[in-house]
Amino acid sequence: MNPQPIAVYVHIPFCTIKCGYCDFNAYAGMDNLKDAYAQALLTEAAAAAPLLAGRTIASIGFGGGTPGEMAPHHIAQLLTHLRQIAPIAPDAEITLEVNPGTTTEAHLHALRQAGVTRLSIGAQSFHTTELTFLDRIHSPQATAATLRTARIAGFHSINLDLIYGLPGQPLADWLTSLKTAIDLAPDHISCYALTIEEGTTLARRIQRGETPPPDPDLAADMYEAATDLLAHAGFQQYELSNWAKPGHQSRHNRTYWTDGDYLALGAGAHGYLHGERYENVAHPKAYIEAVRARANRTPRPALARITTPPLAAQLADWLALRLRLLEGFHPSEFQRRWRLPLARTVGPVLQECQALGLLHTAPTVRLTRPGRLLHGEIAARLLAHLQRTMPPAPTPIRPTS
């Protein structure tokens, strides 16, 4: 029997500047911790060896923060270390995020040499004023230069991240950014609506009236325009926020959307194994100290909390994540995973959403084009229904395949 595949997520919390809209576990001004942090990752990975027993690593994703701010030799050391702990599939997707402007040609060559196969570039916008608003320190020209340099370094799968729905952002400016991104010929484009996260600098600026809130109707128009423009340019939309040229879908992220197991490494990293969700301690210093103190006693030395959510939440999470994929899912997949009939479990909500033109329910359950704009509302209805009808106590249901 072939070893079961698993994904590995590695969190790198360091940034040059913490952007005002960001609520990720990211920190600026902690470069002095990088060497100790890299060592802690090696130690945590070694401790996690029992969790990887009998598994093949199918993908590795470096997120943050800005993983590109770590020295390539640290990335190389961790990848080498992981290969010694568990087999990595020959065609494994290994993705790392970089920021334009702070990534040199030598750095990109070293990352490719280390084994990174896929690069994600945080472009966000191709307008200087928008980049300034977002606290980004690169220029539009730097994004173009980074992508060209990445091609020279040997990267054959490159993603560009873009953000739309900024306060006061005209539709025309969004389309200009999108067209500029398309002209650079990446293999994948991710488009994310700006969300105002509580506790961020941007949220406080909006609360004080210094910045207007985003216009959700205009953001919806931007999303619809992106859907048409990217399709015309040969990108296939396969997930709510992601478009790819053939053969370039993100396999690592697909693990998240399809209920796959993933191991978490690093400060504040979230993992999912056998139906349990867990997360590590968040602050880099606390993470380093926890790993040093507990690595010989437990396979998860930096663990902050671990939960098996109530059955209603498990079902709602599964449905919400599967509906992010445009392909949706077949009712038999739900039956196999949960040993429950889909129609009896959430049939009334599915029928209601179908009547509103938001869902197709046969042969697969999937969002209609209008439904893509209301995914959050559909997910909320599913959760509310399940909370009314499912047992409240935690019920661990293990994957059956």
Task: Give pLDDT tens digits for 271-319.
Answer: 999 989 999 999 999 999 999 999 999 999 999 999 998 999 999 999 9
- Give the relative orientation of helices 311-324 and 342-355 as an angle to the nearest 10 degrees: 50
Please state, for a pLDDT cut of 70, what percent of the chain lies above it. Answer: 97
Please give the Cα distance from 213 to 207 (Å, whole number).
9
Q: In whole numbers, what is the pLDDT of the chain averaged over residues?
A: 94
Pairing relationship of beta strands 14-15 and 303-307 according to DSSP bridges: unpaired
The string of DSSP letters for 128-147 reads HHHHHHTT----HHHHHHHH
Q: Is residue 393 pLDDT above 80, yes or no?
A: no
DSSP helix/strand/coil, 200: coil
Into which CATH architecture does domain 4-256 fall? Alpha-Beta Barrel (3.20)
Q: How sure is the predictor about 398, in pLDDT bands with cuts at 50, 70 and 90? A: very low
Into which CATH architecture does domain 311-389 fall? Orthogonal Bundle (1.10)
Residue 101 has, within 13 A of its CA and on its CB side, a CA count of 15
The domain limits of the chain are 4-256, 311-389
Model confidence over 39-51: pLDDT tens digits?
Answer: 999 999 999 999 9
Please give the Cα distance from 299 to 271 (Å, whole number).
13
Q: Which of 18-27, 102-111, 280-289 has maximum average pLDDT?
A: 280-289
Q: Where are the alpha helices (DSSP H) in 195-341?
A: 201-207, 216-232, 251-257, 284-294, 311-324, 331-338
The type of residue at 100 is P
Quickly tell me which residue has 């004080």 as its tokens: 208
